Amino acid sequence: MTKSEIEERIQRALREKRQGTTHVNTPYLYPTVETPANTYFFPQSSNIVVASETSSLSKLVAETREQMRKEQRAAKTTFNNIERNFYVRDWSLPTVSESFHHQLSADQQIDLSEVGSGVHDQLPLLKAAEPPMSNASSAPAAGNAPLPPPPEAVVVQRAPAAQLHHLAKRILEPEVYQRYVEPHLADMWLQYNEALRRRDDREARRVVLRGYFEVLKPLLYGALRMIVRWWMRAGG
Partner 1 sequence: MSRNEWPTPTEMMVMRILQGKPRGAYGLEIVAASNERVKRGSVYVLLGRLEEKGFVRVLKTRPEPGYDGPPRPQYQLTAEGTRVMTAAEAIGMSFSVGHA
What's the CA gap between 190 and 184, in Å, rounded?
10
Q: Spell out, one character per residue from 183 to 212, where the chain touches partner 1: x when CB under 8 A holds, - when not.
A: xxxxx-xx--x-------------------
In the complex, what is the shortest distance from the CB of residue 17 to partner 1, in angstroms, rounded to a whole number?
Answer: 23
What's the CA gap between 76 and 69, in Å, rounded?
11
Does residue 166 bind partner 1 (CB under 8 A)? no
Name which position in 101, 120, 179, 206 contacts partner 1 (CB under 8 A). 179
How many residues are present in the chain? 236
What's the CA gap between 92 and 89, in Å, rounded?
5
Name which position in 5, 73, 217, 231 contacts partner 1 (CB under 8 A). 217
Name which position in 127, 151, 214, 226 contacts partner 1 (CB under 8 A). 214
Which residues does 186 contact at the CB level (< 8 Å), separation at least 6? none
In the complex, what is the shortest distance from the CB of residue 81 to partner 1, in angstroms, rounded to a whole number?
Answer: 20
In the complex, what is the shortest distance from the CB of residue 68 to partner 1, in angstroms, rounded to a whole number?
Answer: 37
What's the CA gap between 172 and 160, in Å, rounded?
19
Residue 79 contacts residue 26 (beta carbons within 8 Å): no
Residues 13-72 that bind partner 1 (CB under 8 A): none
